Amino acid sequence: MKKSLLAVAAMGAFASAAQAQSSVTVYGIIDAGYIGSNVSAQTGGTTNKVIKSTNSQFGDSAESTSRLGFKGTEDLGGGLSAFFTIETAVTPNATTTFSSSTTSNRQTFVGLKKNGLGDFAVGTQYTPIHNAVSASDPGMTNNVGGNVVYDRVFSNATSSSPNGNNSGYTVRVGNSLTLNTENISGFKAHAILVQNNTNSTQTATTAIATTASTNGGINNQNGWGIGVDYTWQKLFVTANYQAFTSKQTANTTAVTVTSVWGVGGAASPATPGYNIQDNQQYYAATYDFGILKAYAQYVNRKASSQITNTQYVSRSAEQIGVRSYITPTIEAWVSGGLGRYASYGASVPSANFNAWQLGSNYWLSKRTNLYAIYGQTATSNFSTTATQNMNSFNGNSYAVGLRHTF
């Protein structure tokens, strides 16, 4: 009897120890293939010239950004668990596979989860809007042009291909705290809080030549966002809003179409500039009819100057699409959308744009597929007094490749 009790106690202790152990998973994506693009831009001003360029190469990350990640969980008992994720971008065709650039940090966070309630995490994370777009985009947020929601803006008139910047909304942020609830009667709620502040006494130094310089002041980047998802049988609906502010004492950068996102192939920085209030909203719905899945999306982003209240830039876009398995191994999708840039400030520039995309996957297995994607985008009716900007812009990009996930 005593031996039996001792055996039971030993088994219980072993089970508790095993339960407290953590598990770590290595995962990633390698995506490589043949990529090309064609660009034609009609420039404004007195020269009124047409600039054309083409590009083709064996590249990577057309359908999905290549990446390497580590994620793990530890059961702490009582329905509580700890988790972490470390994910970096991988560049198969670069000199160094792992870039030292901060943009290669796709996700890095640690958090706690309580069964029945939800979880929280701190670190560099995706925003509520990006998570919602990932769940409701017909192209599954691929990196080929032709999408007005998850777009790829050409860097300039002679750009060889779309760059990595997304002008529709902010994809990820550092210095963030996220909260996610469990599914409650079909509803899931999400929230994000961003805090990154540096404040010091501002001092002024006057040189003999009567020139002055200032040091210190404020350099604050803050933000917040909320999102709600609802799932009922084959219907999925999501609504999201997020707002970010950037305040600096020493900078007074103006808000213009080209300085914020770019129009007609103009430069598209990853951040909207200094002293900016950046408000973003996203709404979408999907419905799975069985033979195909239908998508409807709307996104709006408005950046306003915190120095000049009447100066702003707004971008809005609508998109619809369908995705379907033609055969058990062949998947295809098509999407199309249109939108408009509107602004008020110097030159008061505005522009209309449209885009469409067609793509297909041939699944060799659950983790490996061949793909072919073609997308086209155009910007027209661009009016401004700045001669370096374009009156019209047309670009297309395409890719055929192989993607493997592990």
Whether 164 maps to a domain, the answer reads yes
- What pLDDT, on the 0 to 100 scale, is given for residue 292? 97
31 and 62 in contact (C-beta within 8 Å)? yes
369 in a domain, yes or no? yes
User: What is the Cβ-side half-sphere exposure of residue 95, based on CA atoms within 13 angstroms?
Assistant: 1
Domain assignment present for 110: no
Domain with 263 in it: what CATH number? 2.40.160
Question: How much is the average pLDDT of 291-307?
Answer: 92
Averaged pLDDT, 235-242: 98
Does residue 7 lie in a domain region? no
Note whether residue 25 is domain-resident: no
Q: Note whether 87 and 68 are within 8 A (CB).
A: yes
Residue 14 is predicted with a pLDDT of 38
Q: What is the pLDDT at residue 156? A: 46
Residue 51 domain-assigned (yes or no): yes
Q: For residue 167, how far is the Cα from the chain centroid?
A: 9
The answer to the question of residue 185 being in a domain is: no
pLDDT at 197 over 50: yes
Range of the domain at 307: 38-62+124-173+221-405
β-sheet bridge partners, residue 138? none
- 355-375 residue pLDDT tens: 999 999 999 999 999 999 999
- Determine which of 85-99, 128-142, 357-371 has the lowest per-residue pLDDT on average: 85-99
The tally of domains found in the chain comes to 1
Res. 11: pLDDT tops 70: no
DSSP-based three-state secondary structure for 52 = strand
For 65-76, the pLDDT digits (tens) are: 999 999 999 999
Q: How far apart are CA 380 and CA 42, in angstroms?
A: 10
Measured CA to CA in angstroms, residue 143 lies from 136, 374, 385 at distances of: 16, 11, 32
Percent of the chain with pLDDT over 90: 57
Q: Is position 45 within any domain?
A: yes
Closest C-alpha to 373, from 33, 65, 137, 67? 33
Is residue 366 classed exposed, middle or buried when 0-12, 13-18 and 19+ CB atoms within 10 A define those classes? exposed
Report pLDDT for 94.
Answer: 76
